[in-house]
Structure 1
Amino acid sequence: MSKEILLVVEAVSNEKDVPKQVIFEAVEIALASAAKRRFEEDALIRVSIDQRTGDYMTYRQWNIVADEDYSNPAFELTIDDSEEQNLGLGIGEVYEEEVESEEFGRIAAQTAKQVIVQKVREAERAKMVALYAEKVGKLVHGQVKKVTRDSLIIDLGENAEASLPKDQLIARESFRMNDRIRALLLEIREDNRGAQLILSRNDPAFMVELFRLEVPEIAEEVIEIRGASRDPGLRAKIAVKTNDRRIDPIGACVGMRGARVQAVSNEMNGERVDIVLWDDNPAQLVINAMAPAEVDSIVIDEDAHSMDVAVKADNLAQAIGRNGQNVRLASSLTGWSLNVMTSEDAEAKQQEESQKLIDLFVSGLNIDDDLAIQMVEEGFASLEEVAYVPMEEMLDIDGFDEDLVNELRSRAKEALLNQALQAEEQLDGAKPAEDLLTMEGMDNHLALVLASMGVITMEDLAEQSVDELLDVEGMTEERAASLILTARAPWFTESE
């Protein structure tokens, strides 16, 4: 039997290219499983094989536990039992007793076979993960092995398989058995079946890697890809930057007679690719990304991280693109929220916002229209800026002297104080209901703020949405959701 074990281990190890140690462990588990049949169901059995001779010993094990933790005599001994039997073991240690070993017969061999198959699969998966871990985010090649309802199974060679979900395919493309395929290794996903290689052909990184393959300057890092966005199968944008001023990054990516970009487009099922010049200036980057549409002007809102992009009326449709495609891709590429409008609409919006500021300064600072207009033209956008902008900056404005600046700052601070007092009076006049005040997660100030908004009771709060509560200063989505859920708890109690 010892010789037979050594022969099995040698044969399986060579056939499956798995370390002998893995096979020995599988045989030990099989022999332990066979020996366990002679004992209680919960008995702990361990088999140890001498990997040099093939001889093996079988042991039954008991865990040493405290008296109060003792629950199963099949595999537990109390500390008192250990002391009575002079085992010399403490809590948490294991007592072993040699028992009769099972022969490596038919049943043990069948069990060993099952365990070996499982161990081999686990070893192959571990080997596969180690092999492909460094390839995540890179292109891989394979052959379609199987087509299921939800995915394609791709044979990558060397016993490695990957899954290409149908939702990771480019629109309108299909593959058949044995077709050659190229895809991005998106991730290594762990599930009940073990590690699984997940591929994608519609991720923007797929296009980036195709360009890296087709354009040597990118692989050599002479040209950098700084951003990419896709509407898979239809259109894409990619932003490039050169690290060598002698090289035109767009021309290099396009290639002679468009050969390079055409090769990428063909691999992506004819997807049209716009190559955009990267610019560290966000406004200029947006102008580049909006191509082929020409931009007349841009207004940046840093706080909202958005831009109003103005184009000529006859250029609006092209700027927006079919179903908003062009502006959506440009927004994704640049990371800015883009609002596209005609130059006329942009001018009207600007005038409307300017007039609001003029009216604010006229009423809040008690000044005439001319001075208010001048302040707006100088870039002032709030009473806070007037009150707290450094005096040196205000003195640089044509016609502003120290007396005028001090007066404007004083009036701005007084107006802000009056606004704060009015807000406090509003809160003082608000009377939240007792159930709202005592609700879990509520505090007095928040209850007063909500009451000033018309949210008086728990029932009122339960009818609110998260977005509505975000109007409260300092409110987060998590807290808003938690408060609303607490307020709605009585609904579910009543329904039960």
Structure 2
Amino acid sequence: MITELKRVIDQVSREKGLDREILIKTLEEAVKAAARKKLGSNYDLEVNFNDEIGEIEVFEFKEVVEEVTDGHVQISLGEARKIDPGCEIGDSLGIKMDTDEFGRIAAQSAKQVIMQRMREAERNIVYGDFKDRRGEIVHGIVQRFDKGGIIVNLGRTEAELPVKEQISKESYKQGDRVRAYILDVRQFSRGPQIILSRTHPNFISALFENEVPEIAEGIVSIVQVAREPGGRAKIAVTSRDSDVDPVGACVGMKGTRVQAVVQELRGEKIDIVTWDPDPAKFICNALAPAEVVRVIVEEDARSMEIVVPDDQLSLAIGKKGQNVRLASKISGWHLDVTSESNYNQALKDAYDSLLNISGVGEKTALNLYQAGYRSAEEVAGAQIPDLTHLKDIGEEKARKIIEGAKQYLEVKEAEKALVQEAGVDSSADEGAASGEIDGGFESPAEEAKEETTDGE
């Protein structure tokens, strides 16, 4: 015979997806709590659900004694044998109680505890379902708004799309469908909190994985993503199959694959570039469609000077610097983009400064420039080990170059002091002094420089 209680347990278990044994255990604990509240804590109680008859059974346990001193926990041998003729002194006798005596209060208390445990069990199930789904894309419906955040109905539970995870130019209204990336799943006493994002770089990666079979199959990989959500994004891709073009796979026939992602992101532009293990080559790819003429790499500072044709400077930098910012973000290098004419002028100025150092010819000047030295002042501040790791510069030559730079600066300081002492306009006299030196007077340092230059 199936009782009403058993029917309710089976129905809740089936409809809510809750473990039946957990429900029964919860019910037993609820009735036990209600009984203790009614009878007091002195009673030794045990509660069991009898699945055969579909009823809760409550047993009060008492010790069988000769003389009763506490009727709550003891029973005389005579009374005990009326219930169980085989019991003896010292036995613990379970006496079945009438659950009806707990009354309405006990029933209400049991109901509240059951509902609470059911909610806890449901929350645990939801958390268990979503905790391993971080990084997935989910579909939901905008349910309501909370302090700028969007509460999204995912079916069995709700998720939050916070303000900072929303694309600024997007707007939603109640009932709109939305796709988002599961950024985090947290467990709280009030239930799991599922955080969604539409701005995270991995949202683009997940969208492409859905659109590009080669990515889902592991043939093409997305190495890095850089985004300015709602504006532009760059993704770096590579292929483990030489016959599969990673960029072409992501773009798709007539751009269908990339356009599907762009449409989902409400028009966010996406540049797909080929990843390269060589940072300089990768930067050239990342700055496309701008053409790169030269790359000067400073490994220690993780910095690159990028030289582009004059007519492509604005293209390389992008609107409000967006293109070079994204290229820097996706590569992890600081980038300084300059035009070819500016670079050549800077190179000439640097060469002129470096060539004034005794012992430095054109090859050494180029070597120093490529190492990041742009003036005699910078060379004078260097240490010998700083220069010895450069090509064709040994310890002795490094020492002479540094000393030559210091001597050159001393001469310049002396010239400046003479001009100031004479009370003549600084700019005019500096030009005259320079012309005088160029016109026929040569210092011993300059003579030594000529000899070294000839030998380079």
Q: TM-score, normalised by structure 2?
A: 0.67
Which of 193, 197, 208 aligns to 2:194? It is: 197
In structure 2, the CA distance between the partners of 1:388 and 1:57, relative to structure 1 (3 Å rule), is farther
1:310-364 Cα deviation digits (max 9, x unpaired) = 22343222222222211111111112122223334444555666677777xx5xx
SS at match of 1:238: strand
Aligned partners of 1:368 and 1:23: how far apart in 2? 89
Q: Answer yes or no: is 1:253 the counterpart of 2:250.
A: yes
In structure 2, the CA distance between the partners of 1:51 and 1:263, relative to structure 1 (3 Å rule), is same
In structure 2, the CA distance between the partners of 1:306 and 1:131, relative to structure 1 (3 Å rule), is same
In structure 2, the CA distance between the partners of 1:326 and 1:412, relative to structure 1 (3 Å rule), is closer
Q: CA deviation at 1:278?
A: 0.9
Aligned partners of 1:380 and 1:319: how far apart in 2? 22
In structure 2, the CA distance between the partners of 1:411 and 1:326, relative to structure 1 (3 Å rule), is closer
Aligned partners of 1:252 and 1:230: how far apart in 2? 20
Q: Answer yes or no: is 1:210 the counterpart of 2:207.
A: yes
Matched residue count = 359
Q: CA deviation at 1:408?
A: 4.2
Q: For the Cα contact (< 8 Å) 2:384–2:395, is it kept in 1?
A: no
In structure 2, the CA distance between the partners of 1:225 and 1:107, relative to structure 1 (3 Å rule), is same
Runs of at least 5 residues in structure 1 that lack an aligned partner in the other structure = 61-95, 416-496
1:375-394 Cα deviation digits (max 9, x unpaired) = 737969753437865xxx97
Q: Answer yes or no: is 1:274 the counterpart of 2:271.
A: yes
1:116-160 Cα deviation digits (max 9, x unpaired) = 222222222221222223321011122233333432222223x23
Letter in 2 for 1:204: P
Equivalent residue number for residue 125 of structure 2: 127
Q: CA deviation at 1:35?
A: 4.0
Where relative contact order (Cα < 8 A, 6+ residues apart) is larger, the structure is 2
Which of 319, 324, 330 aligns to 2:327? It is: 330
In structure 2, the CA distance between the partners of 1:101 and 1:201, relative to structure 1 (3 Å rule), is farther
Aligned partners of 1:370 and 1:46: how far apart in 2? 100
Aligned partners of 1:308 and 1:352: how far apart in 2? 16
Aligned partners of 1:8 and 1:58: how far apart in 2? 26
In structure 2, the CA distance between the partners of 1:409 and 1:269, relative to structure 1 (3 Å rule), is closer
Q: For the Cα contact (< 8 Å) 1:48–1:58, is it kept in 2?
A: yes
In structure 2, the CA distance between the partners of 1:104 and 1:154, relative to structure 1 (3 Å rule), is farther
Equivalent residue number for residue 16 of structure 1: 16
In structure 2, the CA distance between the partners of 1:369 and 1:240, relative to structure 1 (3 Å rule), is closer
Q: CA deviation at 1:4?
A: 6.5
Q: CA deviation at 1:24?
A: 3.0
Q: For the Cα contact (< 8 Å) 1:58–1:101, is it kept in 2?
A: no
Residues 17-36 of structure 1 correspond to what in structure 2 (within 5 A)?
17-36=17-36
Q: CA deviation at 1:281?
A: 0.6
Letter in 1 for 2:154: L
Equivalent residue number for residue 151 of structure 1: 149
Cα RMSD, aligned residues only = 3.8
Q: CA deviation at 1:291?
A: 1.6
Q: For the Cα contact (< 8 Å) 2:235–2:270, is it kept in 1?
A: yes
Which of 338, 363, 368 aligns to 2:359? It is: 368
Equivalent residue number for residue 55 of structure 1: 57
Q: For the Cα contact (< 8 Å) 1:354–1:376, is it kept in 2?
A: no
Aligned partners of 2:310 and 2:302: how far apart in 1? 25
Aligned partners of 1:314 and 1:135: how far apart in 2? 48
Q: TM-score, normalised by structure 1?
A: 0.62
In structure 2, the CA distance between the partners of 1:121 and 1:38, relative to structure 1 (3 Å rule), is closer
Q: CA deviation at 1:165?
A: 2.0
Q: Answer yes or no: is 1:262 the counterpart of 2:259.
A: yes
Letter in 2 for 1:108: A
Which of 315, 319, 332 aligns to 1:318? It is: 315
Q: For the Cα contact (< 8 Å) 2:38–2:106, is it kept in 1?
A: no
Q: For the Cα contact (< 8 Å) 1:308–1:346, is it kept in 2?
A: no
Percent identity over the alignment is 38
SS at match of 2:126: helix
Letter in 2 for 1:245: S
Letter in 2 for 1:140: V
Q: For the Cα contact (< 8 Å) 2:141–2:177, is it kept in 1?
A: yes
Equivalent residue number for residue 302 of structure 1: 299
Aligned partners of 1:59 and 1:355: how far apart in 2? 103
In structure 2, the CA distance between the partners of 1:126 and 1:326, relative to structure 1 (3 Å rule), is same
In structure 2, the CA distance between the partners of 1:296 and 1:149, relative to structure 1 (3 Å rule), is same
Aligned partners of 2:337 and 2:166: how far apart in 1? 31
Q: For the Cα contact (< 8 Å) 1:170–1:269, is it kept in 2?
A: no
Equivalent residue number for residue 115 of structure 1: 113
Aligned partners of 2:142 and 2:372: how far apart in 1? 63
Runs of at least 5 residues in structure 2 that lack an aligned partner in the other structure = 63-91, 374-381, 405-456
Q: Answer yes or no: is 1:292 the counterpart of 2:284.
A: no
Which of 170, 177, 181 aligns to 1:180? It is: 177
Residues 83-102 of structure 1 correspond to what in structure 2 (within 5 A)?
none
Aligned partners of 2:189 and 2:11: how far apart in 1? 29
Letter in 2 for 1:383: Q
Aligned partners of 1:171 and 1:24: how far apart in 2? 49
Aligned partners of 1:378 and 1:320: how far apart in 2? 22
